[in-house]
Structure 1
């Protein structure tokens, strides 16, 4: 018999089983083993992995190679059997998912089992992009050992460029959204989330004239709420340290005076600007070479036209369309990343 651990979204377990019945006549199954949702254990007399993967509700299909009791010594001793599946020159990693109470934790299994496999095979451990992954799936009293090839859906890998290359140089200059206080706060939250989400170098709140202090206060309160909500998510989601983006307040015209210096690139987003596709080669070159990139975003009304003379680029991100205030930062930064991460311009290569 061949056994599989199927992972799916919570609530889709029975859909997976019913869909599989369209492809396979006879198989045994356990839905949500020991009450753990998002999992189905399938057992069949034949190898049906290809048929399982025809079901879009299936997110992962792990073929079980070995089973043992959920005791630490018995699990790590499985290294004697696992070693036969690691080829010379391959790299590997151990990933343990533990469900239930035990006198050991997942990290203990990863470290000790990994060390034993390494000793037995002389293979190298690669936690970022291994050739083989040893998945240890523990359900209360039972442990299943699965062996998979490298996962092409990894988030953080060396073969992906890090977008922070660009965004750590970006300063966002955002005109505040002012008016009804509850609306000011809502727009502030969206802008705070966006600035923190892209981890820009700095967010400058820049009114162009004397404004109502309490409206501005509500907007900045919103920025703080949005920023911190995103920051808490980042701390849980990222395997590396995250910092809060500095948020400052400065007069819009003074910002342009301060930033108009050598080795700074000033970009204004406005429907009156040029199409980004027509300037992408020169812009790509400048994005790579400049020390700091300053992006001005309007709010309700656009950036004053007098500032256009001081900009290196005035860019129309979507001709014949205007963006909502809360969309300006994500739209601008995604567009700039697309240019920055593409082919190097001919000027770059000179």
Structure 2
């Protein structure tokens, strides 16, 4: 049996040395064709469980078929692969191509996938398939590994997971700018811009509470832009769907309160003088689910002015006896709100189960 082990670059020999302590006889190749992060192991028995005892191992694939690296020969393996797929199952083909060939990964995915569909009548499911056909292409050899759903690697985006954007797309962040120190202004601005974009909130409002130094505010906003763009560029590469930049505005704090204090809006202030979230979460989670917009006010060097407290629906102490640094306010608040919001879906599920039991 052959296995393809994937690890961090430079850890190939460490994996082999640890495997020698667990398995008596096996052959191996590290960095085949010069590609780091790969170890190909051959043993007489199934040693996947032993391989996965090594923390340096990211994932392991059992090789079901081996073929010469030639496009026609690879896609013709559909005749053998079909034996592993039932008509009532879904499948996906994932190809990892290394080196220069006269075909690309997409070619293999499309043609091999189409052949398998014709041969098995099974449906293709790229999001959450029952079986995955991993095609690992090297310079001279190609290995085909067939796994069950999530057997080898977890999925980031599945229907079983509730999309956090369900909440975050309704949240407007009102942020007091960090001012008075030019160098720090840009530094904290970057962190805030990065956080707002990371959570893909509805909007970020920079809200001074009174007259401020224009150049300090300028540096802060420059930092917000730098942080936002850096995160946005990462998101474009990491996500399999379209990402939009979070709109950023400047508005007077008190006028923002007036504008946002409307029907079907929820105003939340995070402050050490507030209530513990555990004590209000039952009511809060219902409001988070029902309200059209959730407005979260975050302080900086100074907290939100006390006069604004009268207009808030909730004043929440996220971590009693502790205060968060300016750059941590947005992530801390949004993660706390998501945790509460997520419970509302579990409650609905439980209530539906209760109905079924009663019936």
| Normalised TM-score (structure 1) | 0.97
Give distance in 2, aligned partners of 1:225 and 1:88: 51
1:26 aligns with 2:18: no
Instruction: State the partner residue of 1:185.
Output: 186
SS of 1:310 mapped into structure 2: coil
1:196 aligns with 2:197: yes
Distance 1:327 1:96, change over 3 A: same
**Equivalences for 1:264-283 in 2 at 5 Å?**
264-283=265-284
Give distance in 1, aligned partners of 2:63 and 2:346: 49
**Deviation larger for 53-62 or 324-333:** 53-62
SS of 1:103 mapped into structure 2: coil
Instruction: State the partner residue of 1:41.
Output: 40
Contact 1:284 1:344 in 2 (8 A): no
**Equivalences for 1:300-311 in 2 at 5 Å?**
300-311=301-312
1:109 aligns with 2:114: no
Contact 2:173 2:204 in 1 (8 A): yes
Give distance in 2, aligned partners of 1:166 and 1:233: 22
Instruction: State the partner residue of 1:90.
Output: 89
SS of 2:23 mapped into structure 1: coil
Instruction: Give deviations 1:39-72, integer Å, cap 9, x for gaps.
Output: 0000112221121111111111101111111110
1:14 aligns with 2:28: no
Instruction: State the partner residue of 2:55.
Output: 56
In structure 1, stretches of 5+ residues that fail to align are none
Instruction: State the partner residue of 1:208.
Output: 209
Q: CA shift at 1:90, angstroms?
A: 1.1
Contact 1:180 1:215 in 2 (8 A): yes
Instruction: Give deviations 1:25-50, integer Å, cap 9, x for gaps.
Output: 11110011111011000011222112
| Aligned residues between the structures | 349
SS of 2:285 mapped into structure 1: helix
Give distance in 2, aligned partners of 1:61 and 1:344: 35
Give distance in 2, aligned partners of 1:106 and 1:251: 52
Instruction: State the partner residue of 1:315.
Output: 316
Instruction: State the partner residue of 1:78.
Output: 77
**Equivalences for 1:111-126 in 2 at 5 Å?**
111-126=110-125
Contact 2:92 2:132 in 1 (8 A): yes
Distance 1:316 1:347, change over 3 A: farther
Give distance in 2, aligned partners of 1:140 and 1:291: 55
Instruction: Give deviations 1:280-306, integer Å, cap 9, x for gaps.
Output: 010001001100000000001100011
Instruction: State the partner residue of 2:232.
Output: 231
Contact 2:289 2:344 in 1 (8 A): no
Contact 1:284 1:345 in 2 (8 A): no
Give distance in 2, aligned partners of 1:43 and 1:29: 6
Instruction: Give deviations 1:262-319, integer Å, cap 9, x for gaps.
Output: 1000000000000000000100010011000000000011000110000000000000
Q: CA shift at 1:242, angstroms?
A: 0.5
Q: CA shift at 1:228, angstroms?
A: 0.3
Give distance in 2, aligned partners of 1:153 and 1:111: 23
Instruction: State the partner residue of 2:166.
Output: 165
Give distance in 2, aligned partners of 1:305 and 1:345: 35
Instruction: State the partner residue of 2:356.
Output: none
Give distance in 2, aligned partners of 1:260 and 1:346: 29
Q: CA shift at 1:347, angstroms?
A: 11
In structure 2, stretches of 5+ residues that fail to align are 352-359
SS of 2:216 mapped into structure 1: helix
Contact 2:62 2:145 in 1 (8 A): yes
Give distance in 2, aligned partners of 1:112 and 1:346: 44
**What root-mean-square deviation, in Å, do the aligned CA atoms of Structure 1 and Structure 2 show?**
1.5
1:251 aligns with 2:252: yes
